[in-house]
């Protein structure tokens, strides 16, 4: 198995923007929703090593989800023995160890800790959300890991997967990019669907996305956390979904369930929303507050991990492009900010969609609106930006729309109006 994988290198994989770097001295953990391409991202790290001159003999890769690997706790040393027997001339500390889906075996934590502390620090791990979350892998190896989050494709990656070349500043490419961005919003960025889009009918793609969702519900939530109250869970997830991009009160959902005669405790609902975030189905956004307690106890907004998934699950007679664009901008900002910066929303007399801050200093204020040609909409969005600017002492103001490009002075404030496709590619 080890040799077969080595002979397949380098892998033919479409390049992603985020590649986990080697030689960090930490155990690299790939984090993200199922089907977002964590395993393929591991292949990209391996390709990067090969490109840098590392001989493929130095790559030890095993996928523990392979039925040929039936390890018990005491069997892990067989891996190291097999590798050193094949390559006795290689110093083990110079090899690179990639273990995909390692959580399916018992006792893996002790094995990885021992290898890391005594033998080799070039270790890379992924975990399946239905068995062991990548974040829990990190918890099991406290202080030894470096996590990298992976999401469905960004718009730039979407264009790469679709084989679209463009010049961002060409007027002739503007309509092309607007067209593809509209497709990106509707279809989302799960790599499998984007890559094989031309071979799939729209209905087939929606069925696949719905299947992703059902697997997340039943394997990642119901089976994993032994949830028995399926009716309440489905209602709860539906309410979070339809309320995407708006402040969501868990207490209000609890009262709705109670009124409908569905028994579930309020504490269980708070547990469920934590589980949902842990599997990356929905991600939360807190209101910007000077007080840490207020920020983390107030109502949060929730965003779906993929706009295509949101659309496939949220059957409506009319498309809500504004919600989908805001959702896409949130995911774009989460990719950029990661664990390093803070991302919030602002709410005073008016609302503002996104506040990006670093070490308590607000760096950017961003408003999102699909169409601001209506004067009332334009005024509302601008006043939300200005109120946030005054309260947070930040002058970097951006309004993202479907197709407008302009810099305007609004009551003495400079606001950059940027079309969505350009913002995502800039």
pLDDT in tens, 134-179: 667 777 788 899 888 999 999 999 999 999 999 998 989 999 999 9
Torsion 166-169-171-175 (CA) sign: positive
> Considering the domain 2-150, what is its CATH architecture?
3-Layer(aba) Sandwich (3.40)
Task: Work out the mean pLDDT of the chain and round it to a whole number.
Answer: 93
- Look up residue 3 and give its two tokens: 């040799």
Say if CB 16 and CB 37 are below 8 A apart. Answer: yes
Q: Rounded distance, CA 186 to CA 325, Å? A: 10
Residue 317: pLDDT above 60? Answer: no
3-class DSSP assignment, residue 169: coil
Query: Per-residue pLDDT tens for 297-315?
Result: 889 999 999 999 999 998 6
* Predicted TM-score of the model (pTM): 0.93
Q: Which tens digit of pLDDT belongs to each residue from 186-232? A: 999 999 999 998 898 989 999 999 999 999 999 999 998 999 999 99
Give the domain ranges of the chain: 2-150, 322-426
pLDDT digits (tens, 9 = 90+) for 4-18: 999 999 999 999 999
Cα–Cα dist 209/85, whole Å:
45
The answer to whether residues 104 and 67 touch, using CB atoms and an 8 Å cutoff, is no
How far does Cα 21 stand from its chain's mean position?
Answer: 19
**pLDDT surpassing 90 at residue 105:** no
**How many residues would you count in the chain?**
426
Residue 180's nearest CA partner among 152, 160, 204, 150 is: 160
Domain 322-426 indexed as CATH 3.40.1350: yes
Do the beta carbons of residue 377 and residue 302 sit within 8 Å? no
- Half-sphere exposure in the Cβ direction for 274 (13 Å, CA): 9
């Amino acid at each position: 198995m080890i040799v077969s994988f080595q002979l397949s290198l380098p892998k033919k994989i479409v390049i992603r923007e985020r590649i986990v770097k080697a030689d960090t001295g930490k155990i690299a953990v790939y984090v993200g929703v199922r089907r977002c391409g964590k395993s393929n991202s591991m292949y990209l790290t391996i390709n990067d090593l090969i490109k840098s001159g590392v001989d493929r003999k130095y790559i030890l890769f095993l996928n523990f989800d392979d039925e040929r690997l039936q390890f018990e706790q005491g069997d892990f040393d067989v891996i190291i023995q097999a590798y050193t027997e094949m390559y006795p001339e290689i110093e083990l500390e110079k090899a690179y160890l990639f273990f995909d889906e390692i959580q399916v075996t018992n006792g893996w934590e002790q094995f990885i800790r021992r290898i890391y502390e005594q033998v080799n620090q070039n270790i890379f791990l992924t975990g399946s959300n239905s068995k062991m979350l990548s974040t829990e892998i990190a918890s099991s190896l406290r202080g030894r890991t470096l996590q990298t989050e992976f999401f469905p494709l960004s718009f730039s990656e979407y264009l790469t997967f679709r084989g679209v070349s463009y010049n961002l500043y060409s007027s002739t490419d503007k309509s092309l990019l607007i067209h593809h961005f509209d497709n990106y919003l509707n279809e989302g960025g799960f790599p499998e669907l984007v890559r094989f889009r031309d071979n799939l009918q729209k209905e087939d793609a929606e069925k696949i996305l719905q299947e992703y969702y059902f697997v997340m519900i039943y394997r990642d939530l119901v089976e994993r956390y032994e949830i028995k109250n399926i009716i309440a869970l489905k209602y709860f997830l539906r309410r979070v979904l339809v309320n995407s991009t708006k402040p969501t009160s868990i207490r209000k959902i609890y009262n709705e369930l109670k009124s409908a005669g569905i028994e579930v405790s309020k504490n269980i609902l708070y547990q469920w929303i934590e589980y949902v975030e842990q599997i990356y189905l929905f991600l939360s956004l807190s209101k910007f507050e000077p007080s840490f307690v207020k920020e983390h106890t107030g109502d949060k907004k929730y965003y779906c991990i993929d706009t295509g998934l949101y659309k496939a699950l949220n059957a409506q007679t009319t498309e809500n492009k504004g919600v989908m664009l805001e959702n896409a901008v949130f995911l774009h900002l989460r990719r950029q900010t990661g664990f390093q910066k803070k991302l919030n929303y602002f709410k005073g007399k008016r609302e503002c969609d996104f506040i990006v801050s670093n070490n308590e200093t607000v760096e950017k204020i961003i408003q999102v609106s699909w169409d601001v040609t209506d004067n009332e909409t334009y005024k509302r969005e601008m006043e939300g930006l200005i109120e946030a600017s005054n309260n947070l002492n930040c002058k970097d103001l951006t309004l993202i729309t479907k197709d407008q490009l302009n810099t305007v002075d609004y009551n003495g404030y400079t606001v950059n109006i940027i079309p969505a496709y350009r913002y995502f590619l800039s």
